[in-house]
Amino acid sequence: MTICLRAATRDDAGDMARLVNMSGEGLPHALWARQAEYGQDPIAFGAERLANDDGAMSWRNATVATIEGQTAGLLITDELAETDAELSSDTHPIVRPLIRLENMARSTRTLAALAVFEPFRRKGVASKLLQRAEMGAGPNGMSAIVTDLNDAAAAFLARHGFAHTADLPLVHADWDTPSAAWVLMRKPAS
């Protein structure tokens, strides 16, 4: 079994939406449901958003892992700015703690999404995608944000040199999750 990595294309948007939602533990679905037109499937709406050329969560910033021609996993990264992102009165409360944590990780390459479809887990797909991300680490290294109950993601990141550096309470709003906090994990530049 060979894991192949390639740049994503717009045609990957459907798989990307499902994987971004998995990586975000259902938060993307909740946000997309608020933005989608009445009756529109939130995952289909997310796919439309990911097919756009602009923004951090675009196919242009994504790497797809395939095994035997099938999409196995996804990586989306973004380099966080040297200065703090601003919070305005228009910033949805559910994303405020995420922005605050990102502001604690300035100038890092952040893992905006890293997920693997179930049939391809425990085969090295996530590790290979993470290696790709680390090739473009920011001046201050790497960062990722996970929920406090995502023990599998936290353990995976810890095995790859990431450490818990901060946490903030999360806002549930329309998102049904048992988690109570967001956890910032960082890996220093090598």
pLDDT per position as a tens digit, 154-163: 999 999 999 9
Mean pLDDT, the chain, whole residue set: 93
Those residues whose C-beta lies under 8 Å from the C-beta of residue 51, and which sit 6 or more positions away, are: 10, 13, 59
Letter string b/e over residues 88-101, b meaning 16 or more CB atoms within 10 A of that residue's CB: eeeeeebbebbebb
pLDDT at 91: 84
Q: pLDDT band for 124, please (50, 70, 90 cuts).
A: very high
pLDDT at 172: 87
Which of 34-43, 46-55, 177-186 reaches the highest mean pLDDT? Answer: 177-186
Q: How many angstroms separate the CA atoms of 68 and 27, rounded?
A: 30
pLDDT at 101: 95
Fill in the amino acid letter for 80: L
Q: How many angstroms separate the CA atoms of 138 and 79, rounded?
A: 6
Q: pLDDT band for 1, please (50, 70, 90 cuts).
A: confident
> Over 80: is that where the pLDDT of 167 sits?
yes
Supply the pTM of this predicted model: 0.93
**In what helix (H) or strand (E) does residue 159 lie, and over which residues does it extend?**
helix 151-159
> Over 80: is that where the pLDDT of 112 sits?
yes
